[in-house]
Each structure stands twice: as C-alpha cells, then as structure tokens.
Amino acid sequence: MRDPIAKKVADMKPSGIRKFFDIVSEMKDAISLGVGEPDFDTPWHIRDEGIYSLEKGRTFYTSNSGLMELRREICSYTGRHYNVRYDAAKEVLITVGGSEAIDIGLRAMLEPGDEVIIPQPSYVSYEPCAVMAGGVPVIVNLKEENEFRLTAEELEAVITPKTKVLILPFPNNPTGAIMEREDLEAIREVILKHDLIVMSDEIYAELSYKEEHVSIASLPGMKERTILINGFSKAFAMTGWRLGYACGPENIISQMTKIHQYCIMCAPTNSQYAAIEALKHGDRDVEEMREAYNERRRFLMHEFKRIGLKCFEPYGAFYVFPSIKEFGMTSDEFAVKLLESKKVAGVPGTAFGDCGEGFLRISYAYSIENLKIALERIEEFITELRA
C-alpha cells in the first residue's frame, strides 16, 4: 500500500510534552507541577450561563464569526483594558481556543517560503503551525539575562527579505516573562521599519503581576499590522470550553473567517453564551484568581531563593522557569530523575524549544499546600544532588 501520510506531517516532531506525559502517567501518586491550565473551576455564574443556554435549547450554530453580542463584549473589553478599539462587525473572529486563531492566522498570511519569527522558549504550537501553513520558522533564542524578553537587537538580527510575521508570545508560557511598554516600544521600531505583521498571543494578558498588561496593538501604527489573540481559558479558567478570539485588521480577519467557516463553522455555541457572562460580570473573579496566583508566585520565588535555586523573577502567566544548569544534567534527565526519586513532575524546558535546555517549567496553578509539599521534595532532591 502507498504511504498514506503527507511528508510534512510525518516530519512534524511530536510535542516534547507528550513524551513526558507518558512517563508521568505511569507513575502513581506523583505530585504534578506540570499543568498548563488553571486549578480554579470556571466561576459558577459563568458555568450557570452555559447550562442555561442549553436549557433554553440554544443548540444551534452561530454566525461564522461568532455571536454578535460576544464580539461586542470583546471589543468593549479590549477597549477598556488595553486601549485598543475594534469594530465588532469586521475585526473580531471567535475561535476554538487561541490555538485555532494561531493556526488559521498563519494559514491566512503565509506564502510558501515566508519566514515567521518565533521567539523561544514558547508555546509548542507556533512552529508546527507555521510549517503546516507553508512558512519557514525562524527561531529567536531568548536569553535568561534579558529575563526572556525579546530585544530589538535580537529581532533585527534574524530579519531577512523573506520575513513576514513575528509571533509575540507574552506573557510567556513557559518562562512567565512579560514585555513591558518600553520593551514593546523598542521592537515596534524594528517591526515598522521592516513592515512585519505581528501575531500577538496575549492569552495570559490578565495574569500580569507587575503593571497592567500592555498590548502591542495599542502602540501607534501597530493596530493595523497586529493580530491580537486572546481567549477565555486562562483569565476565566475556561480551558475546556475551547473558546478564544482574534482581533485585527479587517483584511486579515475576513480571510481567517473564510478558513474558519470551512473547517470549523463556528465556535461552540454554549461556550459563547457563557463567555458573554464572563466578560460582563467576571472582572472580580479574574482579580481574585490573579491575586491568588500572585501569592503563589511570591511564595515560590521566596522558596527558590531560600534553597538556592537560580530563577529570574517572572511577572506573568502562572509559570516559573528555574535554571538547573548547576547540576550538570540536561532538562530531560533532571525532570525524569526528579520524578523517579521524589515523584514531582515539572516539564523540561526543552519541550518549549532547544534554548529551554537547562531549565524546568514549574506551574503554580496549584494550591499553596500542594506547592509546599512539592517544594519540600525539590529541596530534598537538590540537597542530595549537591551532596
């Protein structure tokens, strides 16, 4: 029989997370610090609205772009929080998670051979999505000494005549790094100079602990060349509802909507109704969750300092990214050993790009009690290694 698989799919590397997941699943009663989703349940009033929409029999399709009321709420939200104003009728598309927006955004923009700049360490799907869309990923290895922020020099250094899109994944998974206003202003000049399109994945925007998140789309001249991606998963603890959105210039959003219409039709209807409630009445929930994450973040940073584990202070998302270089092991070796000897699971930094080597992603989407137990075990582990 002929080989049924397309070469570009066969060539796609399985996610490094997957491999580690299989090892962890074998292990009974391991404490995991490996989860990339909130430990909170979706706030009840939001869930209730989802249930109500089912009770009312709202089990139909919505328009391809998503419910108008939800798009309006999104526009009011981006206006009030990030000072970027979009037209609900033409500049917003509701997607199945931020992930779909990444995929169809790249597919809508890339010609074969177009280069996509992807700063790493970062979320696992940018690179394969860029490849599947016919693009050529160009990786920028972010540096710990820059707190894993993207600098103008780093960006400038990888730009070629073929560069078309810059992916901007901040606040960042897995490092927890953020880009503050002056960081964004610095790269803005490079972006304008080389006429790049920005795909700004701001799914963790609400989880910023230093200053209120700044969207690159709010800087002068940027809105018309930025696809802003956000969603409900992290801010409102709604991962399983699979709901995200893309905002951007009409010419890009309308083409993305075409792809979305043919492969998805529309995002889940009852999730959309729940999301309206989230945006209308969820500000307090977000604030409470953010405060809880921030307490855990401070606690972890304090503990790392106490046990002498080197880690830059991250101000976003719910991850810390300590360096394990002093132990002379690869991230994989360290993570597997930590799991086997102390039953604590972190994710090797290499799952998020080669430059994650020497780091471990620790999620703090866990209760303080859980974090304490895990930290005790990590302390034992590294004390034994140092002995």
Partner 1 sequence: MNEITELRMKILKAIEHDGRVNLGELAIRLGVDETDVANEMADMEKEGVICGYQTLIDWDKTDTQIVTALIEVRVTPQRGQGFDVIAERIYKYSEVDSVYLISGGFDLMVIMEGRTLKEVSSFVTDKLSALDSVLSCATHFIMRKYKVNGTILAKKYEDERMLITP
Residues within the interface to partner 1 (CB under 8 A): 15, 17, 20-21, 24-25, 30, 32, 34-37, 39, 123-125, 173, 291, 295-296, 298-299, 302, 345, 347, 351, 368
How far from 200 is each of 14, 184, 359, 379, CA to CA, in Å? Answer: 24, 11, 24, 37
Contacts of 14 (CB under 8 A, 6+ apart): none
Residue pair 73/279 in contact (Cβ under 8 Å)? The answer is yes
Measure the CA angle with vertex 350, ends 130 and 205; round to 5°. 65
Minimum Å gap between C-beta 276 and partner 1 is 25
Minimum Å gap between C-beta 24 and partner 1 is 5
How far from 258 is each of 134, 149, 243, 253, 261, CA to CA, in Å? Answer: 18, 34, 18, 9, 5
Region of 66 (left: φ > 0; alpha: ψ -120 to 50; beta: rest) is left
Minimum Å gap between C-beta 195 and partner 1 is 32
Residue whose entry in the numeric block shows the structure tokens 């880009």: 179
DSSP string, 106-169: HHHHPPTT-EEEEEES--TTHHHHHHHTT-EEEEEE--GGGTTPPPHHHHHHH--TTEEEEEE-
Between 34 and 282, name the residue whose CB sits nearer to partner 1.
34
Helix (H) or strand (E) holding 362, with range, is strand 360-363
Minimum Å gap between C-beta 59 and partner 1 is 25
Between 149 and 296, name the residue whose CB sits nearer to partner 1.
296
Region of 57 (left: φ > 0; alpha: ψ -120 to 50; beta: rest) is left
- The β-bridge partners of 163 are 115
Cα separation, 123 vs 173, whole angstroms: 6
Minimum Å gap between C-beta 243 and partner 1 is 17
Pairing of strands 226-231, 197-201: parallel
Between 52 and 299, name the residue whose CB sits nearer to partner 1.
299
Cα separation, 187 vs 311, whole angstroms: 25
Between 92 and 317, name the residue whose CB sits nearer to partner 1.
317
Between 298 and 310, name the residue whose CB sits nearer to partner 1.
298
Minimum Å gap between C-beta 335 and partner 1 is 10
Between 3 and 26, name the residue whose CB sits nearer to partner 1.
26
Contacts of 211 (CB under 8 A, 6+ apart): 180, 181
Instruction: Give the pair of three-digit tokens for residue 36.
Output: 């990339």
Minimum Å gap between C-beta 104 and partner 1 is 19
Between 15 and 151, name the residue whose CB sits nearer to partner 1.
15
Between 90 and 343, name the residue whose CB sits nearer to partner 1.
343
Minimum Å gap between C-beta 20 and partner 1 is 6
Minimum Å gap between C-beta 106 and partner 1 is 17
Between 66 and 174, name the residue whose CB sits nearer to partner 1.
174
